[in-house]
Structure 1
């Protein structure tokens, strides 16, 4: 009798396991099918760049949400050494959909902005050599925006490189950082104001460098989304909105499209903007939605 009960229990458990496996497979197939109706099915990679004093972990919330929602099925990492050497960790397979590259800088406090552009180029070239990409997207948070801007400043006209397709800037400090301890070249000028075109009334040395983009940013090529947080007082708690909004003057007239989105509430704080459900939705809609 005991053996019969054990046998029945075993078969009942086996049936439950089989049902769970089949059900799980069906649910996964359903999720994939739904994702295909919502998102483009492209091999174009999207590169994520973290902020100062940070690393790829700051990108993981955004990228994991994108994968969970079916916007992508592939996430790899690009580790950039202090000398600019790139090591790719992971593989972008032939069936990859909207692959994501989490970029990690070993020197995450570099204030020579040209180096950010060079390191970003090294990542793009590594992907070009290994996967033969011809276009890509970029997402930057805080200091990560400098990689986007200086890549385009230095290499945006290089016809031998893949073409930037979409660019997302988050909490960017283009007109400068409002910190006394940073060099004057990257410090936000006192009394900074913008005119209706986003032009600052005062410019530090690095912003003056960036103004070259007004002549060199590829015309009608790049869609740009500029996201900034306002927790009150027109600041995200670290970067004043006026600095983030100065991006308009640099590239809006030459971009294929340019839009700004303000995030409010407690999670609009500078250090939380990359861990924000509103931002997750904005990224998915802008980068991958059909």
Structure 2
């Protein structure tokens, strides 16, 4: 009997410790991160899927930012299906977007897909504000959506946008004007066609949005992350900085700054989390 009481007491003690640690952890997270119902949409790159977004989303969950991560599929015909549910009042929910038509090269079409997902989420849950995170081609989908649906009542108000490895003036092997330079405003000396199309955003980009531009340099002499030249990524400044509520950039270096590794880079996670949800 004494032995049974000992193990029962030990188990109760362990449970108290675990609950206490959990309480302290939640309290620390509450002090460090905002308590908001604003959803954050993650948009993946070309040929990829929502799985590429999971590392960043799970890093936010581990940090105590949120307990709610769902994913949304947008079919080739534009039909949106949500996998998971967002409870009323859920704290800092994350929606990972999956583009079924992930290898077509029409950025305008990508913009339509992103619009359909976000407008469907607003209709379903009534969101009034949103954050957007894009990697690679996902950034172009975001930018074309913002260009083609300015001030749409079907979209929540944009609070924060994070660009990761965005090819706003083309990429290596797909449009980047070799030898193009940028001035202090971010304007390229030679413009790729999609950059020219996005210049409408200089008049319509949401003035409510704070923007963070993240990009990589392998430091191997290419001045790129293997796919996106640094100057192409930095040209985002010219498109949005004069209207955005704030604009900032951060460059990452070395092997972990390679294009496809940026969305699974712990340094990127930390900067991303602090920008989107830090108090």
The alignment's TM-score, normalised by the length of structure 1, stands at: 0.91
Asked whether 1:132 is paired with 2:119, we answer no
Between the aligned partners of 2:39 and 2:150, the Cα distance in structure 1 is 17
> CA deviation digits over 1:5-61, x for unaligned, max 9?
xx5554433333322222222211111111111111000000001111111111111
CA RMSD of aligned residues (A): 1.4
The residue aligned with 2:248 is 259
The residue aligned with 1:3 is none
The residue aligned with 2:218 is 231
Match of 2:130, SS state, is strand
Residue 66 of structure 1 is aligned with which of 60, 63, 71? 60
The residue aligned with 2:198 is 210
Change (3 A) 1:51 1:170: same
Between the aligned partners of 2:118 and 2:169, the Cα distance in structure 1 is 26
List alignment gaps of at least 5 residues for structure 1. Answer: 1-6
Between the aligned partners of 1:11 and 1:172, the Cα distance in structure 2 is 61
Between the aligned partners of 1:119 and 1:15, the Cα distance in structure 2 is 56
Asked whether 1:158 is paired with 2:145, we answer no
Between the aligned partners of 2:90 and 2:66, the Cα distance in structure 1 is 8
Match of 1:58, SS state, is helix
Residue 275 of structure 2 is aligned with which of 272, 277, 286? 286
> CA deviation digits over 1:221-266, x for unaligned, max 9?
1100000011113211111101101111111111100001011122
The size of the alignment, in residue pairs, is: 277
Residue 166 of structure 2 is aligned with which of 172, 176, 180? 172
Between the aligned partners of 1:173 and 1:287, the Cα distance in structure 2 is 22
Residue 115 of structure 2 is aligned with which of 100, 114, 121? 121
List alignment gaps of at least 5 residues for structure 2. Answer: none
Between the aligned partners of 1:142 and 1:110, the Cα distance in structure 2 is 14
Which protein has the larger Cα radius of gyration, Structure 1 or Structure 2? 1
Asked whether 1:273 is paired with 2:267, we answer no
Give the Å deviation of 1:160. Answer: 4.2
When structure 1 is superposed on structure 2, of 200-209 and 250-259 the one drifting more is 200-209
Change (3 A) 1:101 1:262: same
Residue 83 of structure 2 is aligned with which of 79, 85, 89? 89
